[in-house]
């Protein structure tokens, strides 16, 4: 699977890395809300993850 994570937290990135199988899955992380919004309109990723505690999420919401 291809995961896209919207977060500015290194801890969240570390936790998500634990569930991603590197040999099969890929994970991309971004803090840039405009880039995130552009990417979610494509069908490149299978799953989108949003860190609700992220400082950037306040601007995103």
Q: How many domains does the chain have?
A: 1
Q: What is the pLDDT of residue 37?
A: 84
Q: Which residue has the higher pLDDT, 60 or 46?
A: 46
Q: Is the pTM of this model over 0.85?
A: no
Q: What is the pLDDT of residue 59?
A: 56
Enter the tokens of residue 11: 């801890």
Q: What is the CATH number of the domain that holds 46?
A: 3.40.50
Q: How far is CA 44 from CA 8, 22, 35, in A?
A: 21, 17, 13
C-alpha dihedral sign at 53, 12, 46, 29? positive
Is the separation of the CB atoms in 27 and 5 below 8 Å?
Answer: yes
Q: What is the pLDDT of residues 4-46, one digit of tens each?
A: 998 888 888 888 888 888 889 998 888 888 888 888 888 788 8
Q: What is the DSSP-derived secondary structure letter of residue 53?
A: T
The parent domain of residue 54 ranges over: 2-60
Residue 1 near residue 23, CB atoms below 8 Å: no
């Amino acid at each position: 699977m291809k995961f896209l994570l919207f977060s500015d937290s290194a801890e969240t990135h570390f936790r998500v890395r634990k569930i991603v199988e590197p040999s099969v899955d890929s994970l991309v992380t971004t803090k840039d809300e405009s880039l995130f919004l552009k990417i979610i309109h494509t069908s490149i990723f299978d799953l989108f993850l949003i860190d609700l505690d992220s400082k950037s999420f306040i601007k995103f919401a």
